[in-house]
Amino acid sequence: MNEAVRYLEVGAQRVVLLLLRAYQLLLSPFLGGRCRFHPSCSRYCTDAVHRFGVVKGLGLGLYRLCKCHPFHPGGYDPVPEAPSLQGLTVHE
């Protein structure tokens, strides 16, 4: 059973990475270099999926996209060494 799950994980990871690469090659050049972060959001998501797998990697990528607005300064924002929900907590 574990081998089947691993096979599905690797397959899903390849599909996601292929879609991200297609975006980088086919769409991104037409949109221009507008990302306020370094690395770019698509590169960040690719790195996160490589490091943490599909679910955590896409979660980190989605969180990064949520920070992409005029009120966030942007700048250098690398993939964390370990995924954390620290920035997602609500403080009272």
Amino acid at 16: V
pLDDT of residue 89: 45
pLDDT of residue 85: 57
pLDDT digits (tens, 9 = 90+) for 3-57: 888 888 889 999 999 999 999 999 888 887 778 899 999 999 999 999 999 999 9
Q: Residue 91: its pLDDT value, please?
A: 41
Could you write out the DSSP letters of every residue in 7-74?
A: HHHHHHHHHHHHHHHHIIIIIHHHH-S--SEES-HHHHHHHHHHHH-HHHHHHHHHHHHHT-STTS--
What is the structure's pLDDT at 92? 41
pLDDT of 87 > 60? The answer is no
